[in-house]
Amino acid sequence: MSQKTKVIEKEEVVIRFSGDSGDGMQLTGTQFSDTSALFGNDVATFPDYPAEIRAPQGTVGGVSGFQLHFGTTEVNTPGDYADVLVAMNPAALKANLKWVKASGTIIVNEDSFTDRNLEKAGYTEDPLQDRKLADYNLIKAKVTSLTKECLKDSGLDQKSILRCKNMFALGMVYWMFDRPLEHSVSFIEKKFQKKPSVVDANIKVLKAGYNFAKTIEALAYNYHVLPARIKKGTYRNITGNKATAWGLMAAAEKSNLQLFCGSYPITPATEILQELAARKDLGVKSFQAEDEIAGICTAIGASFAGKFAVTTTSGPGLALKTEAAGLAVMTELPLVIVNVQRGGPSTGLPTKTEQSDLLQAIHGRSGECPMPVIAASTPSNCFDYAFQASKIALEHMTPVILLTDGFLANGAEPWKVPSMSDLPAIEPPFAKEGDDYLPYDRDEEKLVRKWAVPGTKGLEHRIGGLEKMNVTGTVSYVPENHQVMSDIRKERIERIQVPDLEIKGNQDADTLVIGWGGTYGHLLTAVRELIKEGKDIALAHFNYIMPLPKNTGDVLRKYKKVIICELNDGQFAEYLSSRFQDVKLHQFNKLQGLPFTVIELKKRFNDLIEEK
């Protein structure tokens, strides 16, 4: 290390990697976050993909970003503003400069700031030459040229050489934050094991970037972020989509059932289907259907046959699945419908996050068609709520909608791997050979019918989409019977036991913040920071939407001011207002395809606290 280098201790740091879709920024960010997690830091990430499939190279619309927040203390959000921005081209700088902290560090690939690239990014002047970046610690590195020089004797073609330049940037940031290279070296060796020349090239460029940062005078200091104090256990960095898939597989194991997933690929839910398809070794059967309707219908067929069935989608796909979802409600078959929400309506913002589908999940079916709705709130607890959604579906013989969103699906954080023995049992109510079986004969406590597997002697039966006579299951057009069956379908969902709502913060505060789903980390951080500043505030966050926790009304009525924060135009506020008309609800809504920032939340909460 250079004698001029100073080591600065930091509790937390936010880094944003940004460039064209082909610049490998998602891989670069993932490598840095995985390395930091292995080092022992708490980590939260936010991949930000371009909405266009093939946006013109070098344009702002084609910029791909990856933000990560790592620290010694508990990290609940990927951070509002970046301490360090890595910009691989002018468009990346233009798209992300507003997200860099004042006096933050900006590392740019100087080679990419050509007249043509500046024009495509919408610059009239070179930002590296004027004074607009004077307030930042600007580090200009000829990343492309140095990568080419490093690999001039590698024997690789020009295109393959240029693909390595993200490793140069990663090496620089590894040095800057005192991160070891070993994890990324191992990753490269495994990923490209069949291409030794590519392995050698990437590792060589990674080390070249590290050494370049170590020697240039522009980087006169590096940062050291100590490991976080966390509970003992086995941890891994996990995204929300992978956690969801693993939660479903864990439920299949605990219920001793084969898992079947019938789905159609759709952003940002596709990775769940991919993860399940890769686990044939665990007995998972997956089917990539020709469309959303076929996906859910094959899942219903698997459920009828006695399998644990799931289907995965996003908002537009959930709309297509609604008719078949009604069939699952009418037949009272277990099914988990995972909806990874994105910006809408229609194709909308396919790669951007939004809490867009709550009312669709609650009400979006024909007739009186109730089903449980659960929402995960962090990337890692997607595992827990996928498991709980499965347990409810299988034990209560009902379809269940599990809501996640693009922010949770693609974001990552450390996850303590649970022991299967610590997970609760799942006991589906199967009918057995010899039972005196009728399709809609129910237990008195839960109003749950028995699950009869076709082909079992003595359990022959018929179910379907037409209204059925209570108990016997024959087709019925009797008016009074339709009332009875509708009431039962509603009552059996309301009888599902869910945990009471917990309050975080000051239990006796005047102001209560309410959220649901993926806004949890930002709301919790904002509330905690305000409490440290002496403000009187509390947080109640919902994971169980239908049915609501039994103490919801008591909690809402306890506080003088209640504010609901959502990444939509007020869907949860509308739902709660319809249930608790005596409670006045304030709202804070955002529809930008982005999560909340802690800064904007704190400002809104402060305004409400001070409001007379």
**Per-domain boundaries in the chain:** 6-224, 236-422, 429-497, 503-610
Predicted confidence band of residue 271 (pLDDT cuts 50, 70, 90): very high
Q: What is the mean pLDDT of residues 213-218?
A: 78
Predicted confidence band of residue 1 (pLDDT cuts 50, 70, 90): very low
Peptide bond preceding 268 in cis form (omega within 30 of 0): yes
Phi-psi region of 331 (alpha: psi -120 to 50; beta: other; left: phi over 0): alpha
Q: Is residue 4 over pLDDT 60? A: no
Domain over 6-224 is classified CATH 3.50.30.50: no
Predicted confidence band of residue 2 (pLDDT cuts 50, 70, 90): very low
Distance CA 219, CA 490 (A): 64
| pLDDT for the residue numbered 130 | 81
Alpha-carbon 264 to chain mean position: 19
Across all residues in the chain, what is the average pLDDT?
95
Alpha-carbon 442 to chain mean position: 37
pLDDT tens digits for 352-381?
A: 999 999 999 999 999 999 999 999 999 999
- Same topology, domains 6-224 and 503-610? Answer is no
Per-residue tokens: 575: 């739902």
pTM: 0.94
Q: Is residue 3 over pLDDT 60? A: no
pLDDT tens digits for 127-157?
A: 999 888 999 999 999 999 999 999 999 999 9
| pLDDT for the residue numbered 74 | 92
Amino acid (one-letter) located at 414: P
| pLDDT for the residue numbered 67 | 97
Domain over 236-422 is classified CATH 3.40.50.10090: no
Per-residue tokens: 307: 């399998």
Predicted confidence band of residue 465 (pLDDT cuts 50, 70, 90): very high
What architecture is the 503-610 domain classified under in CATH?
3-Layer(aba) Sandwich (3.40)
Residue 397 burial (C-beta neighbours within 10 Å; 0-12, 13-18, 19+)? buried
Per-residue tokens: 210: 């590290």
Q: Is residue 302 over pLDDT 80? A: yes
* Orientation of helix 182-191 relative to helix 196-215, angle to 10°: 160
- DSSP-based helix, strand, coil % in the chain, nearest 5: 40, 20, 40
